Amino acid sequence: MLIGPYQFSGKAVLAPMAGVTDRPFRAVCRAQGAAAVTGEMVSADTSLYASDKTVHRLDMSGEPGPRIVQIVGSDPAQMADAARVNVERGAHIVDINMGCPAKKVCKRAAGSALLADEPLVARILDAVVAAVDVPVTLKIRTGTSPEYRNAVAVARIAQAAGVKALAVHGRTRSERFAGYAEFDTIARVRDAIDIPLLANGDIDSPERAAAVLRQTGADAIMIGRAAQGDPWIFKRIEHFLRTGELPAEPTQQQRAAVVADHIKQIYSFYGEGRGVRIARKHIGWYSGAHRNAAAFRATVNRMDCASDQLAAVARFFAGDTSAPWSDEQQRMNVA
Contact 27, 20 (CB under 8 A): no
What's the number of CA atoms in the CB half-sphere (13 Å) around residue 229? 15
- All residues at 6 or more sequence positions from 231 whose CB lies less than 8 Å from its CB, including other chains: 25, 28, 29, 31, 32, 34, 258, 262
- CA distance to 267, 289, 296, per residue, from 286 (Å): 17, 8, 11
Alpha carbons 269 and 286: distance in angstroms, whole number: 19
Contact 287, 293 (CB under 8 A): yes
Q: Kindly state the helix (H) or strand (E) to which residue 168 belongs, with its residue range.
A: strand 165-169
Q: What are phi and psi of 97, to 5 degrees?
A: -90, 115
Alpha carbons 2 and 200: distance in angstroms, whole number: 18
The one catalytic residue in 29, 100, 106, 305 is 100
Contact 84, 145 (CB under 8 A): no
Contact 43, 19 (CB under 8 A): no
Alpha carbons 25 and 120: distance in angstroms, whole number: 33
106 is catalytic: no
Catalytic center residues: 100
